Amino acid sequence: MGASLGQFTSSHEDDYLDYYALAGSTINLGIRHKVDIDLGYGHEHESRGEGLSEGLGNQLTDPIEYDRETANGKYTYGADDAKGQLALSAGYENVTYTNYRNLTGINAARSSRFKDYDSIELAGELRVKTNRAFNTVFEIKNTETRYPFSSGQDNHLTLYYVGANWDVTGKTSGFAKIGMQDKRFENSSADFSSLSWNVGFTWSPTDYAIIGLDTSKIAEDPSAISGYNDTTKYGVYWQHAWMDRFSTRASYRFNDEDYNKGSRLDKTHTYGISANYDFRRWMSLSFGVDITDKESTQSGVGYDQTVFFSALTISL
């Protein structure tokens, strides 16, 4: 369980309180069989001007809020030191927006209820041990998403990947998968297929520092409009623990978003610097600054933003 409180000195319309509860269990059924189960609930928010409120941020008096429920299960066959392992997984997610559900007038079509959704994910992964540090990976994942108030957005996304994961001497670990993505809609005119990848890498040059890199190209359902968003993401961060309870983090992210095969293009650069102090195992205070520069071919969507923040996080 946990909570995160955000307070903005110059814009109380952006204040938020998020909270969540998570529960999980790992069941070992002998050397070769393992079951993982995770359940979650969260009350979360979208910052004004992002997500559903793109281009409408100045018209909101509070952040958009929603409830998220998740349930995930995974069965793994094969011992940890076996030549191969097979993993089968299933996941469920439900998102229900709790405010701005019934807008009127020219913004009626942007009512948040139209973005409520349920999704079911089924996946299979075969891992073949190449040596002590490397595994070759073959993966198929299918996600079916249904929108109860906007069935024209119903779709399923299938990913076909081949790649590897590794962990070398505890200093360097990561994964790299590349393949194809195939997205199909109830309205078949929006169907598409393209190259896809998902890569993550971390390196610990010292016991106190972590440098991370990641990139992905995976289709997403856009928040404010219908259709799809073929999103390419790049990120890098440096995290340093200066003492047991105090750490800092510097990060940069770049998102390149292609909506419905070029009908709209967005490019977003985000820079962040933050510090975190752990008062207790269950309570921490973070503060920092995020700078965002978003450009879009659609008028009213691009913006520049600098946010200084502090947040208190409590977990059990």
The enclosing domain of 129 has a CATH number of 2.40.160
Is there a contact between 247 and 275 (Cβ–Cβ < 8 Å)? Answer: yes
pLDDT of residue 14: 83
- Give the model's confidence band at 43: pLDDT under 50 very low, under 70 low, under 90 confident, else very high: very high
pLDDT of residue 224: 67
pLDDT of residue 291: 95
Give CA–CA dist 233/212, Å, rounded: 14
**What average pLDDT does range 41-53 have in this prediction?**
87
pLDDT of residue 262: 67
Cα 248 from chain centre: 22
DSSP state of 263: T
Mean pLDDT score of the chain: 90
- How is residue 216 written in tokens? 């992905």
Give CA–CA dist 119/143, Å, rounded: 7
Using one digit for the tens of pLDDT, what is the confidence trace for 255-304?
A: 999 987 667 899 999 999 999 999 988 888 899 999 999 999 988 788 88
**What average pLDDT does range 78-93 have in this prediction?**
94
Is there a contact between 95 and 113 (Cβ–Cβ < 8 Å)? Answer: no
**What average pLDDT does range 234-261 have in this prediction?**
94
Give CA–CA dist 221/115, Å, rounded: 10
- Give the model's confidence band at 186: pLDDT under 50 very low, under 70 low, under 90 confident, else very high: confident
Which letter, b or e, does each residue of 179-210 get, where b requires 16 or more Cβ atoms within 10 Å of its Cβ?
A: bebbbbbeeeebeeeeebbbbbbbebeeeeeb
Give CA–CA dist 4/98, Å, rounded: 18
pLDDT of residue 118: 96
**What average pLDDT does range 43-61 have in this prediction?**
83
Give the count of beta carbons closer than 10 Å to the beta carbon of residue 279: 11
Which of 44-53, 70-79, 128-137, 217-226 comes out lowest in average pLDDT?
A: 217-226
Domain count, the chain: 1
Q: Residue 225 pLDDT more than 80?
A: no
- How is residue 70 written in tokens? 């998740």
Instruction: Please name the residue that has the structure tokens 């969540």.
Output: 20
Give the pTM.
Answer: 0.86
**What average pLDDT does range 178-202 have in this prediction?**
89
| Domain ranges, residue 299 | 2-315
